[in-house]
Amino acid sequence: MKATKKIVCLTLAIVMAGLAFIMPVSAAQTMPFIMVNGIGSTPLYKNVGTAEEELLFSADDAFIEGLVTDVGGAFISSLIQYGMAKKDYNKFADTFYPAVNKYIADLGYNIDGTPVNDTVGYKENFKPMSEYTEEEKAILSEFAYAYADRYGEEYVYNFCYDWREDPITIAAELADFIDTVSPNGKVNVVGMSMGANIVLAYIATYGGSRLNNVVFAAPAWQGTSLFGNVVTNNLEIDIFAVENYLVQLANISAVTHITAFIISYIASEKHLSHEYFGDINAILQNINPRLYTDTFIPYFAGMPGLWALVPQEDYEAGKEFIFGSHEIAIDPAYEAKLDAYHEIQGNAKQYIDAAKKEGMNFSIVCGYNCQMIPLSTEYESSDTIIDTVYMSGGATCAKYLQAHDDWGKVYSQKIKDGHNHVSWDSKVDASTCMYPENTWFIKNLQHNGFSTENGSLDLVVWLLGQTKQPTVTTDKVNYPQFFLYNTYKSTTKAMPYDSVLGDLDGSGSVNTIDARLALKIAAGQVKATDAQMLLGDIDEDGSIATTDAADILKIAAGIYA
């Protein structure tokens, strides 16, 4: 009898120990997940909730396509008016800006920070994804579907908000949302793009006690030069930036592929470049004052959500240009609202550190090696919308289509912390990030490119499932700091930890031996390992060819460009 009791007790002890081990994992798997998407993600309606309700803005592809078509048509019409009036810049502005303003008037904000149309709003939805209608599911992002596939739709929630408002105001709404969907527990959260600004404002205001795993995906938490250049009047069309941007788009469109080819030809012929893009820049610079007086100031200068996307380094200069240069007295209450968020942006680390002490796990996933929307002459590495340096909180990045001068042969990691933070292609040094151990990078991933199909969301879902703070060395095989999104094959692969582009023999440097090995692989004499395929495919076309071997030889010689 005593022996039986001992066996029972021992069995119970083992079961309890097993439960203690399993429970944290189960808690992570069944925890509510809240998706906070970016600007434009929540549809806005005029006369919301009434019989006269009318959709004003949505991130839906059909809506964006219609918007681009209308504005593009207005641009072409304005060019015609400009030509007929013998290059009268005011004729262009007289035609173009009213067409744009008609589209945005109801979305706009007055200069004092109040909405132009106070009937504009959005539809709240506190239900889990499992209770959504098919129509309601249309606004859900790939992140929501990826989490639902792993843990179930009943745990997935989508936070809707008016993205024109300031993040601190929206953070209060997020706090209520969290209390509603998880009254006594924690939640997992992804802040995508501008959504990261909202989550950052929440963290600064309410702390991290209610947050489990927080992932900033392609985050605008430190702003983007796209908006910084607008508010500081740093706008100029660069032909090579346009060419780069169209080449990126060519991956998904035959039209843009052909257009990119034409632009490349124009860019290579100096007289054509001067003639056509010189004219476009002349128009841009001459209608520039009207851009601000006719459109930006009446409808956007008073929009606090937009100012949240301005980098800290451009903020004061931006206020001076928009308000000071145009002799507009900024409303003190409105300025205080803008300043309050930028205080949070400028001191993000202290707020996040405090939240981490309360048990919040924090991670960042960002793209790099993409051309920014070509509205300036800058070639910062980005995901087409946000600069990698801002997304990552300070990574040292080579210019787009360039690498650090020596391709890893001499380049020294800026901050020595005992392990490597330099990408295999020598384009990113993550040691200077605000959180170098908690920041991941995916090369070639565009801003809205996250998906389950291309594999880029695997990393995010893994981060959301962790029971303690993950780092870039938690799983160096499957989830190292750097990934490659292959645009030819639409696949995302983890890059071998501490590797170097072209180093096929694993020696730590690139030499003629690697070039010979690449030739043998190209000739079919040697079967490449997965790591060799990733490091030897220099042009990222999905294979190792003789051209790749030649490039590896150039890297070895220090002349690759």
pLDDT, tens only, 320-351: 999 999 999 999 999 999 999 999 999 999 99
Q: What does the pLDDT average to over 180-199?
A: 96
CA neighbor of 444 nearest in space, from 554, 541, 551? 541
Instruction: Work out the average pLDDT over 340-368.
Output: 98
Residue that the structure tokens 């992570």 belong to: 28
What percentage of the chain has pLDDT greater than the value 90? 63
pLDDT(432) > 70 = yes
Tell me which amino acid residue 535 is.
Answer: L
Q: How confident is the model at residue 22 (pLDDT cuts 50, 70, 90)?
A: very low
Q: Find the length of the chain.
A: 561
| Average pLDDT value over all residues in the chain | 86
Label residue 21 by pLDDT band (50, 70, 90): very low
> With 0-12 CB in 10 A as exposed, 13-18 as middle and 19+ as buried, what is 217?
buried
pLDDT reported for residue 241: 80
**Which one has a higher pLDDT value, 501 or 441?**
441
Q: With residue 59 as reference, give the H or E element that holds it.
A: none
Between 195-209, 253-267, 270-284, the lowest mean confidence (pLDDT) is in: 253-267
Task: Between 374 and 46, name the one with better pLDDT.
Answer: 46
Cα Rg of the chain, angstroms: 26
**Cα–chain-centroid distance for residue 247?**
19
How much is the pLDDT for 285?
Answer: 77
d(CA 75, CA 69): 10
Q: pLDDT tens, 480-532?
A: 999 999 988 889 999 999 898 999 999 988 999 999 999 999 999 999 999 99
CA distance 516 to 161: 57
| pLDDT tens per residue, range 32-60 | 999 999 998 899 999 998 999 998 876 66
CA gap 195, 176 in Å, rounded: 16
Asked whether 400 and 381 are in contact (CB, 8 A), the reply is: yes
Going by their DSSP bridges, the two strands 44-46 and 211-217 should be labelled as unpaired
Mean predicted confidence (pLDDT) in 118-144 = 93
Tell me which range, 138-142, 261-265, 306-310, is most confidently predicted by mean pLDDT. Answer: 306-310
232 Cβ contact partners less than 8 Å away, ≥ 6 residues apart: 314, 317, 318, 321
3-state SS record for 456-509 = CHHHHHHHHCCCCCCCCCCCCCCCCCEEEEECCCCEEEECCCCCCCCCCCCCCC
Residues whose CB falls within 8 Å of the CB of residue 525, separated by 6 or more in sequence, listed in order: none
What pLDDT was estimated at residue 93? 80
Which structure tokens are listed for 122? Answer: 């959005």
- Low-confidence winner among 14-18, 276-280, 436-440 (lowest mean pLDDT): 14-18
Between CA 62 and CA 138 the distance in angstroms is 12
pLDDT band at 385 (very low <50, low <70, confident <90, very high): very high
For residue 537, pLDDT over 60 is answered with yes
Closest CA to 442 of 362, 361, 365: 365
Note the pLDDT of residue 311: 98
Q: Across residues 93-103, what is the average pLDDT?
A: 81
The pLDDT tens digits of the residues spanning 229-252 come to 999 999 887 777 877 787 777 665
| Spatial CA neighbour of 510 closest among 543, 554, 561 | 554
pLDDT at 429: 95
Q: Reply yes or no on whether the pLDDT at 1 is more than 50.
A: no
Name residue 290's amino acid: R
Position with higher pLDDT, 282 vs 470: 470
282 vs 358: which has the higher pLDDT: 358
Per-residue model confidence (pLDDT) at position 410: 60
Query: Is it the case that residue 470 has pLDDT exceeding 70?
Result: yes
Distances (CA, A) of 21 to 24, 26, 27, 386: 7, 10, 11, 40
